[in-house]
Amino acid sequence: MKRRASKAELLFAAVVVAVAVGGFAVAHAAGAANPSGHAVATITRDGVAIETIDLDAVKNPYTLRLEDERGVNMVAVEPGRIRVAEADCPDEVCVHTGWIDGPATPIACVPHGLTVTVAREGGDGDGLDAVAR
Residue 46 confidence (pLDDT): 93
Residue 125 confidence (pLDDT): 41
Give yes or no for a contact between 105 and 116, defined as CB atoms under 8 angstroms apart.
no
pTM: 0.67
Residue 61 confidence (pLDDT): 97
pLDDT, mean of residues 87-97: 93
85-115 residues labelled b (16+ CB within 10 A) or e (exposed):
bebebeeeebbebeebbbbebbbbbbbbbbb
**Is a pLDDT exceeding 70 seen at residue 120?**
yes
For 36-71, the pLDDT digits (tens) are 678 999 999 999 999 999 999 999 999 999 999 999
Give yes or no for a contact between 41 and 77, defined as CB atoms under 8 angstroms apart.
yes
